[in-house]
């Protein structure tokens, strides 16, 4: 109904404001959020750099994007940096192709497979240096953060 839609739009606006984001989107099911959002943004001509331990929904979204995929070792910032340097060298050899491709970094805030936190500050240095677009699954981090704030 119109009332439900207005409620959801207001909720998305509140979430975006709370986290100081331009926009937020609410899905009713986490798997569908991740597996459909990635191919909505990343396309065949793009390159995705993803942690090897990203969850199954992210893997399905990456597959659906049909982008070139480069996995880096779990939480290994140096390995990601090595892959980015190699890609930068390839981009210099084929500037026309490089101009058409966008680069994405796909990670989880807290990895569902291991419970590890991502090395966010170090990853953001590389994100800025190599002009990567960030896709981060924060679903577990939000649960952790909400529980922590409610308990204290």
- Write out pLDDT tens, residues 88-102: 999 999 999 888 999
The pLDDT of residue 143: 58
The CATH architecture one would assign to domain 29-151 is: 3-Layer(aba) Sandwich (3.40)
pTM of the model: 0.80
Choose between 4 and 32: higher pLDDT.
4
Most confident of 21-30, 74-83, 87-96: 74-83
**Domain residue ranges in the chain:** 29-151
Pairwise CA distance, residues 6 & 119, whole Å: 37
Burial of 57-78, coded b for 16+ CB within 10 Å and e otherwise, reads bbbbbbeebebebebbeebebe
- Write out pLDDT tens, residues 61-77: 999 999 999 999 999 99
């Amino acid at each position: 109904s119109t009332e439900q839609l207005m409620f959801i739009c207001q909720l998305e606006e509140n979430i975006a404001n709370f986290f100081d984001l331009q926009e937020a989107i609410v899905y009713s099911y986490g798997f569908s959020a991740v597996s459909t959002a990635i191919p909505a943004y990343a396309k065949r001509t793009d390159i995705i750099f993803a942690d090897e331990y990203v969850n199954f929904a992210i893997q399905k979204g990456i597959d659906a994007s049909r982008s070139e995929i480069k996995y880096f070792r779990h939480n290994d910032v140096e390995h990601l940096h090595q892959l980015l340097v190699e890609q930068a060298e390839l981009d210099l050899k084929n500037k026309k192709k490089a101009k058409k491709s966008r680069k994405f970094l796909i990670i989880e805030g807290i990895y569902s497979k291991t419970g590890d936190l991502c090395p966010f500050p170090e990853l953001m240095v590389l994100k800025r240096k190599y002009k990567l677009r960030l896709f981060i699954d924060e679903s577990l981090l939000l649960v952790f953060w909400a529980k922590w704030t409610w308990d204290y």
